[in-house]
Amino acid sequence: MNVETYRRRLIALEESFSARAVADGGRARDHVLESPADTGDTAVADEAASEDFSAAELDATILQQVRDALRRIDDGTYGRCLADGRPIETKRLDAVPWAAYCIKHQRLLEAASRPPSTL
């Protein structure tokens, strides 16, 4: 695995997500500050602000994961599953270069975080 290739991709992603998080947060604040007096318009502005805040939150989450991956490169653990230390599949790292878990452990984490179904 060429770790430097992943480092360059992660640095580019870090720059992109940083800029997007700032832009999304700014747009959301603008919606709140420019909130119209009409109730219908206020509801639309609130919805737009909520969407922008959600986008900014998602970007900030991914940005943190990208930064964590860069730290793993620096400490020599990049490409290894945080759960068991085994290598993360190259295809997975190509698709999600900030991946911290192999697909098996990622699925287990996602399943554990879902609320139980009430049938």
Residue-by-residue DSSP string for 64-112: HHHHHHHHHHHHT-TTB-TTT-PBPPHHHHHH-TT--S-HHHHHHHHHH
Q: Is residue 47 part of a domain?
A: yes
Percentage of the chain exceeding pLDDT 70: 73
CA angle in degrees (0–180, nearest 5) for 20-10-60: 35
Q: What is the pLDDT of residues 77-104, one digit of tens each?
A: 999 999 999 999 999 999 999 999 999 9
| Confidence (pLDDT) at 2 | 92
CA angle in degrees (0–180, nearest 5) for 94-96-98: 110
Q: Is residue 119 part of a domain?
A: no
| Total of domains in the chain | 1
Specify the CATH number for the domain of residue 65. Answer: 1.20.120.910
* Residue 51, pLDDT above cutoff 80: no
Q: Is residue 74 part of a domain?
A: yes
Q: Is residue 79 part of a domain?
A: yes
Contact 31, 50 (CB under 8 A): no
* Residue 33, pLDDT above cutoff 80: no
Q: CA 104 to CA 92: how far, in whole Å?
A: 11
Domain range spanning residue 95? 3-113
